C-alpha cells in the first residue's frame, strides 16, 4: 500500500507576499521543487484571514501549472499569540497525531512561520513523530534538514535522568504527600507510585474501598504536578442524575433543554488547564463513558446545544471502589475507556491493612478533630488512651478512614472527660449486621469441590477474625460467632489447630 505524502506547514508572511510577485515563497518553492510530488498540503494559519482564500487559489494555480495534483487546504489555528509555545504545541501536536495515525509520510516545512513555530516543528518532528524536515531559501534552494544528533534519543536520555530523580522522592514532591500517613508497606507503595505519576501529564486511576482517602491522594498528585496553579475540580459521578450527566460534564447552551435559561460551563471547562477528579467513575452509564472517551481522545468537548466542539486541556484522575475489570467482563464498563485512563494506577489499601499507620493517623485525626471542635461551648480537647488505640487497631473498619473519623467524632462529643477509653469507642461505633452474605460466595463446583475443606476454611477464618477483634477473649468471640458458649469455640479451635 502506497502511503500518502503530506506537507505540513505554518503560513508565513513571505508566503503571502509571493502572490503576484516573481518570488514564490517557501511553501510554493517546496511544492514545485520537490523531486517527489506531495499528495496533500495542509497549511496552518493564525492570522491574515482576509488573505487566506486568495493565497490558496494562487497556490493551487501554481501547482496546476506543473501538472501536480496536490490537494491544498488551509486551516485557521487559534493561538494565544504567534510566539505562545503552549498553544502552538497543542495545535502542532494534534495535527501530527492525526496524520501519523493514518500512516502518512509527513514532511514539515521549517521555513514558514515564527521561530516558536519552527522550533516546535523541530522538536516534535524529530523528538516524537519521526517526520522529514525540509527548508528552502532564495540563496540555497530546497534542502532536506539532517540533524547532527538524534533529538528523540537525547530527549529520552534527559527524561530518564529527570524520572530517576523523581523516583528518588525529591523533597519538593515529599512536601505534597507528607500529610498522608504511610508507614505500612502497602501504603508506602501507593504513595511512591503517586509521587512518580504526579509530575507526568498522564491520566490516573486510584482504586480503593470507600473511605480509604482516594480524593486526598488525588489532591496531592494535583498539587505536586505542573498544573498545581490551576483548578482541581472533584466530581462524584454517582451523584449526578443520568439525565444531567452531559450537561454537568460538558456544559450546555442557553435553550438547549427545558430550564437551560443561560449558558453553563461544565466540569471539564472549569478544570481547563488543571485536574478533573472523577470519583466513582464506575457509576457512569455506558453512553456517558463513550462521550468521556471521546473527550479524552480528541481533547475537545461539545456542550449540549452547541454545534461546534471546543478544545480543552484537562488531566483526568479517576477513582473507584469497584472492580472495573470485572465490570468490563460483564459489559458495564468500556474496555477502551479503562485502558485510556489506566496509564497510571494507584491501589490504596484498606485501613485494616495499614496497622503500622494507625497510631500516627490517630494523632493526625485527633488533632484535626480538636481544632475543629475547640470553638464549641464546653468542649474539652480529647486524647486516646493506650487501650483505646489498641482497640482501634484490632477492628475491621469496613468504612475505612471515614468510618474511623466519624467514630472518633461521636466518641469525643458523647464523652465528658479528656481521655477517650475503649467503652467510649464501643458506644460510638455503628453496629453492623453479623449475618453472612451468601451472595458473596464465588465457588465453582462444576469440576467438583471438597465441601468439608471449604467449611473448615470458613470456620478457621471466622474464628481467627473473632479472636482478633476481641483480643483473644473467647466468651466475646463466641458471641460474635453466634455460639451459645465458649466451650464450643474451644472445641473448634482444638479441632482446626488454630493458634490463639
- Which residues fall within 8 angstroms of residue 52, CB to CB, at 6 or more apart? 11, 45, 74, 76
The residue count of the chain comes to 500
Contact 295, 311 (CB under 8 A): no
Q: Which residues of 61-93 are buried (b: 16+ CB within 10 A; e: fewer)?
A: ebbeeeeeebebebeebebeebeeeebbbbbbe
The span from the CA of 187 to the CA of 361, in Å, is 12
Nearest by Cα to 411 from 429, 392, 385 = 429
As assigned by CATH, the class of the 352-428 domain is: mainly alpha
Residue 55: strand, helix, or coil: helix
pLDDT at site 165: 43
pLDDT at site 290: 93
Structural domain boundaries of the chain?
Answer: 5-144, 173-349, 352-428, 452-496
Task: Show the 3-state SS of 215-273.
Answer: HHHHHHHHHCCCCCCCCEEEEEHHHCCHHHHHHHHHCECCCCCCCCCCCECCHHHHCCC
Could you give phi then psi for residue 304, rounded to 5 degrees? -60, 125
DSSP 429-495: SPPPP----GGG-----TT---HHHHHHHHHHHHHHHHHHHTTT-HHHHHHHTT-S-HHHHHHHHHH
Could you give phi then psi for residue 470, rounded to 5 degrees? -105, 15
Range 173-349: architecture per CATH: 3-Layer(aba) Sandwich (3.40)
Same fold, 173-349 and 352-428: no
pLDDT at site 164: 47
- Alpha-carbon Rg for the chain, nearest whole angstrom, is 32
The span from the CA of 105 to the CA of 92, in Å, is 16
Q: How many angstroms separate the first and last alpha carbons of the chain?
A: 72
pLDDT at site 157: 55
The span from the CA of 153 to the CA of 108, in Å, is 20
- The sign of the dihedral angle between the CA atoms of 384, 388, 390, 394 is negative
The span from the CA of 253 to the CA of 263, in Å, is 4
Could you give phi then psi for residue 136, rounded to 5 degrees? -145, 150
The span from the CA of 26 to the CA of 137, in Å, is 7
CATH of the structural domain 5-144, one choice from 3.20.20.100, 2.40.50.140, 1.10.3720.10, 3.40.50.10770: 3.40.50.10770
Nearest 10 degrees: Cα torsion 76, 78, 82, 87: -130
Q: Which grid coordinates belong to 59?
A: 497556490
Distances (CA, A) of 205 to 281, 316, 339: 9, 9, 10
Q: Which grid coordinates belong to 305?
A: 446545544
pLDDT at site 458: 87
Q: How many CB atoms lie within 10 A of CB 209?
A: 17
Distances (CA, A) of 282 to 234, 295, 326, 435: 15, 17, 11, 27
pLDDT at site 178: 77
Q: Which residue bears the cell 485525626?
A: 365
- Which residues fall within 8 angstroms of residue 448, CB to CB, at 6 or more apart? none
Q: What is the mean pLDDT of the chain?
A: 84
pLDDT at site 167: 41
The span from the CA of 456 to the CA of 458, in Å, is 5
Contact 492, 459 (CB under 8 A): yes
Q: Which grid coordinates belong to 230?
A: 490551576
- Residues with pLDDT less than 70, the chain: 1-2, 147-175, 377-378, 431-444, 446-447, 500
The span from the CA of 195 to the CA of 177, in Å, is 8
- Which residues fall within 8 angstroms of residue 140, CB to CB, at 6 or more apart? none
Contact 136, 29 (CB under 8 A): yes
Amino acid at each position: 500500500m502506497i502511503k500518502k505524502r503530506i506537507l505540513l506547514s505554518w503560513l508565513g508572511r513571505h508566503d503571502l507576499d509571493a502572490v503576484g510577485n516573481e518570488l514564490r515563497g517557501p511553501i510554493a518553492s517546496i511544492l514545485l521543487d520537490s523531486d517527489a510530488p506531495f499528495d496533500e498540503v495542509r497549511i496552518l494559519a493564525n492570522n491574515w484571514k482576509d488573505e487566506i482564500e486568495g493565497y490558496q487559489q494562487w497556490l493551487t494555480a501554481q501547482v496546476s501549472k506543473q501538472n501536480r495534483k496536490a490537494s491544498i487546504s488551509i486551516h485557521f489555528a487559534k493561538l494565544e499569540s504567534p510566539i505562545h509555545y503552549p498553544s502552538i504545541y497543542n495545535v502542532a501536536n494534534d495535527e501530527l497525531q492525526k496524520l501519523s495515525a493514518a500512516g502518512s509520510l509527513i514532511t514539515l516545512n521549517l521555513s514558514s512561520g515564527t521561530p516558536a513555530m519552527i522550533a516546535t516543528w523541530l522538536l516534535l518532528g524529530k523528538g516524537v513523530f519521526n517526520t522529514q524536515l525540509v527548508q528552502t531559501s532564495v540563496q540555497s534552494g530546497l534542502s532536506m534538514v539532517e540533524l547532527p544528533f538524534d533529538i528523540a534519543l537525547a530527549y529520552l536520555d534527559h527524561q530518564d535522568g529527570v524520572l530517576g530523580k523523581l523516583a528518588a522522592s525529591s523533597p519538593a514532591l515529599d512536601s505534597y504527600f507528607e500529610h498522608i500517613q504511610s508507614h505500612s508497606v502497602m501504603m508506602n507503595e501507593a504513595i511512591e507510585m503517586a509521587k512518580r505519576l504526579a509530575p507526568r501529564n498522564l491520566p490516573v486511576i486510584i482504586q480503593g474501598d470507600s473511605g480509604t482517602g482516594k480524593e486526598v491522594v488525588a489532591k496531592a498528585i494535583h498539587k505536586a504536578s505542573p498544573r498545581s496553579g490551576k483548578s482541581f475540580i472533584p466530581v462524584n459521578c454517582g451523584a449526578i442524575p443520568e439525565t444531567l450527566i452531559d450537561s454537568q460534564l460538558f456544559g450546555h447552551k442557553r435553550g438547549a433543554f427545558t430550564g437551560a435559561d443561560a449558558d453553563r460551563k461544565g466540569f471539564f471547562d472549569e478544570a481547563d488547564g488543571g485536574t478533573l477528579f472523577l470519583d466513582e467513575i464506575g457509576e457512569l452509564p455506558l453512553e456517558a463513558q463513550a462521550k468521556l472517551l471521546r473527550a479524552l481522545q480528541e481533547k475537545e468537548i461539545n456542550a449540549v446545544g452547541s454545534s461546534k466542539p471546543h478544545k480543552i486541556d484537562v488531566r483526568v484522575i479517576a477513582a473507584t471502589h469497584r472492580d472495573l475489570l470485572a465490570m468490563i467482563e460483564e459489559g458495564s464498563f468500556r474496555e477502551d475507556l479503562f485502558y485510556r485512563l489506566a496509564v497510571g494506577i494507584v491501589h490504596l489499601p484498606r485501613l485494616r491493612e495499614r496497622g503500622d499507620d494507625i497510631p500516627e493517623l490517630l494523632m493526625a485525626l485527633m488533632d484535626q478533630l480538636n481544632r475543629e471542635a475547640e470553638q464549641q461551648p464546653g468542649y474539652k480537647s480529647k486524647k486516646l488512651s493506650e487501650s483505646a488505640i489498641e482497640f482501634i487497631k484490632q477492628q475491621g473498619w469496613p468504612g475505612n478512614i471515614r468510618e474511623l473519623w466519624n467514630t472518633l467524632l461521636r466518641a469525643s462529643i458523647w464523652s465528658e472527660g479528656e481521655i477517650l477509653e475503649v467503652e467510649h469507642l464501643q458506644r460510638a461505633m455503628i453496629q453492623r449486621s453479623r449475618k453472612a452474605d451468601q451472595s458473596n460466595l464465588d465457588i465453582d463446583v462444576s469440576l467438583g469441590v471438597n465441601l468439608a475443606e471449604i467449611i473448615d476454611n470458613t470456620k478457621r477464618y471466622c474464628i481467627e477474625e473473632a479472636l482478633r477483634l476481641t483480643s483473644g477473649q473467647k466468651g466475646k468471640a463466641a458471641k460474635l460467632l453466634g455460639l451459645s458458649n465458649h466451650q464450643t469455640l474451644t472445641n473448634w479451635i482444638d479441632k482446626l489447630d488454630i493458634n490463639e
